[in-house]
Amino acid sequence: MQTIRVSLPKTQERFSKMGLAKDGIYKQIEFAIQNLLDALNEISSSLGLEAVSYREIIENLHKEKIIGDELKEKFDFLIQLREVLIYNYDLLNDEIAFRNMEEYLQFLEEGLEFLSSFLEGGR
């Protein structure tokens, strides 16, 4: 996430004109989300929670009270964002994405904090 923050320009106008570099930022976000979801899948599997989709993984972790309501909402959002980045890239609006980029990164960081805490034995 630090790489993304360092790469972001100060203005939305400059962000929109970044071309391939902007696409790289989007790809890095997609990659970070994918890694987070894969780690959550590992947790789910290790607990014997069967799921066939990322949404089910999040739902199961929530039902088992492993993640709370707020974190569930953030993970649900990241799943949707990943879907847009992969399958509906043409729907992305650079202005909205730039304005919300810090929030996307914050959600990812909270996910990493959860993983770290979970792996250290806390929930």
- Per the structure, how many domains does the chain have? 1
- Whole-number pLDDT of residue 8: 94
- Whole-number pLDDT of residue 17: 95
Q: What is the CATH number of the domain that holds 13?
A: 1.20.120.580
Phi/psi zone of residue 11: left (φ > 0), alpha (ψ -120 to 50 degrees), beta?
Answer: beta
Return the ∠ at Cα 33 (arms to 32 and 39), rounded to 5°.
90
The residue segments making up the domain with residue 73 are 2-119
Tens-place pLDDT, residues 24-74: 999 999 999 999 999 999 999 999 999 999 999 999 999 999 999 999 999
Tens-place pLDDT, residues 92-117: 899 999 999 999 999 999 999 999 99
Q: Structure pTM?
A: 0.91
Taking the C-alpha atoms of residue 93 and residue 108, their distance in angstroms, rounded to an integer, is 20
Alpha carbon of 106 to those of 1, 52, 78, 97: distances in Å?
9, 27, 11, 14
Alpha carbon of 101 to those of 15, 95, 98: distances in Å?
11, 10, 5
Given a contact cutoff of 8 angstroms between Cβ atoms, the answer to whether 36 and 115 are in contact is yes
- Whole-number pLDDT of residue 88: 87
- Whole-number pLDDT of residue 89: 79
Taking the C-alpha atoms of residue 22 and residue 109, their distance in angstroms, rounded to an integer, is 21
- Whole-number pLDDT of residue 91: 84
